[in-house]
Amino acid sequence: MPGPLDGVLVVDLTRALAGPHAAMMLGDLGARVIKVENPAGGDDTRGWGPPFVRPEHGDRESTYFLSANRNKESIALDLKDDADRDVLTSLLRRADVLMENFRPGTLDRLGFGTGVLAELNPRLVTLSISGFGHDGPEGGRAGYDQIAQGEAGLMSLTGSGPDDPQRVGVPIADLLAGLHGASGVLAALIERQRTGRGQVVRTSLLASVVGVHAFQGTAWTVAGQVGRAQGNHHPSIAPYGLFRCQDGSVQLSCGSEPLWRRLCAEFGLDPQAPGLATNGERVANRERVIELIETAFAAHPAETLLARLAAAGIPAGKVRTIDEVYAWDQTLSQGLLVDVEHDTLGPLRLPGPPLRFFTAGPDGERETTRRDHTAPPVLDADGPSIRAEVGEG
C-alpha cells in the first residue's frame, strides 16, 4: 500500500535529528520526501559515529544517519549558488510541505523567507523547528538536545536523585520536536483542504519538552510542588517502579487499590497495614513499601516473579537490553523492523515505523500498512533525476 500521504511532496531542508525525524514520519506515511543536503558532506549526521557501517571504506555510512532518513530521496544543493537555488525554487513551487530547522532568520538570509515562500507557493505548508523558539528573549539560541533537556527541566526529573541529573538515553527533545512538528504539518494539510492556503507551523525543542511535562507540570502550576529526580519509582503512585529480586530486578505497577491488594495476597503482605492502606499513604512511606516488596522478592528469580505477577493479573515487566528488544517476538509481530536494500551497503534491517493502518469491513479487518520501505539515500543519489524532473538539469 502506498500510504495515506501518497501524492504529498515534502522538501526536507533539515539536518541532524529533529527535522529529519519529522520528515521521515511523513515518508513512512507515503509522502515523497526529497532531502536537500549540503554538497560538502551532506547532513551532519553522516559523520556522527562510531558506529559506522563499513568504517574502513570511503563509502562508510553512519548508523545515526540511517536511523532518521529512510523513505527519502537525496539531492545535494549549495543554497548560496544561484543555479542550485533555482533548483530549490522549482521544487518549492511544486511542493506541499517544506521542512527546515535552521537557526531563526537563516532561511530569510538565504532568500526564502515566509513572504517569498507564500508568493512562490500559496499552498505550501512550512514546518520550522528551532531550539528555543523563533522569538522571545532567547529565540536565537542554537538548539542541541542535551542542552534543551536541561533547560526545559527534564534532566532535573531524571536520575537517581536530586543531585544526580541525567539525560534521557535517546535525544528525546529532538524526537519530540519531530513528532510535534509532523503532527502540526498534518493538521495544516487538513486545514488547507478548507482554505486552499498553507501556513507556517513552528515548534522547538523547548516547547516539545515542556509540552510533555504532564503531571510534573501541573504539580508546579497548580499545586506549587517542584518535582525532583527520584530514580526508578513513581512520584505519585506506590508501588510503581523497579524492584530488586534474587537475580536482578522486575518492574511492577500497582495503579489501583485492587492491584495493591492482589500483590499483597500473592506475597503474603498486609494491604491494610498502618501507613500502607491507601496510595497516598504508600507514597508518603515509599521507602518502607520498597523494602517490604524487595524483601518478599529476595528469594525469587526474576522469571519466576514475572510469571507469578502475570498469573495474579499485576502489570509487570523486565528491563530489556536493545538487542533483546529487537529479538522479541512481540516487537517483530508489530512490524517494528523493516528490511531495505541500501545502494552501497546492500540488505539492511532497520527499526520500523510505529504506526499501522487497517480498513474494517463485514469480513473483518485488512491491514493497509505501507510495507515497501526504502533505505536512507547516499548523498545526492537522486540529484540528476530530480534536476531533470524540474527542468534544471
Q: Considering the entire predicted model, what is its pTM?
A: 0.93
Percent with pLDDT over 90 in the chain: 93
What the block records as the C-alpha cell of 191 is: 486545514
The 10 Å CB-count burial string (b at 16+, else e) for 369-379 is ebeebbbbbbb
Q: Which CATH class is domain 240-317?
A: alpha beta
The conformation of residue 365, written as its DSSP 8-state character, comes to E
Which residue type does 365 have?
E
Instruction: Please choose, from the candidates 13, 12, 3, 56, the residue with its C-alpha nearest in 3D space to the C-alpha of residue 33.
Output: 12
Cell 529479538, residue located? 327
Catalytic residues: 174
Identify the pLDDT of residue 59: 75
Do the bridges between strand 73-76 and strand 61-62 make them parallel or antiparallel, or are there none, so unpaired?
unpaired
Q: Which residue ranges in the chain fall short of pLDDT 50?
A: none
pLDDT tens per residue, range 97-142: 999 999 888 999 999 999 999 999 999 999 999 999 999 999 988 8
Collapsed DSSP state (helix, strand, coil) of residue 144: coil
238-280, pLDDT tens digit by residue? 999 999 999 999 999 999 999 999 999 999 999 999 999 999 9
Query: 9-214+373-389 adopts what CATH topology?
Result: Rossmann fold (3.40.50)
Would you say the C-alpha torsion 367, 180, 218, 239 has a positive or negative sign?
positive
Count of all residues that appear for the chain in the document:
393
Q: CB-based contacts of 197: which residues, under 8 Å, 6+ apart?
A: 122, 123
Residue 22 · residue 178 · CB < 8 Å: yes
| Domain chopping of the chain, boundaries | 9-214+373-389, 240-317
Closest CA to 102 of 37, 184, 173, 13: 13
pLDDT at 393: 60
Instruction: For the chain, report the end-to-end CA distance as a whole number of angstroms.
Output: 31
DSSP designation for 233: B
Q: Please answer whether residues 173 and 144 qualify as being in contact, where contact means their C-beta atoms are separated by less than 8 angstroms.
A: no
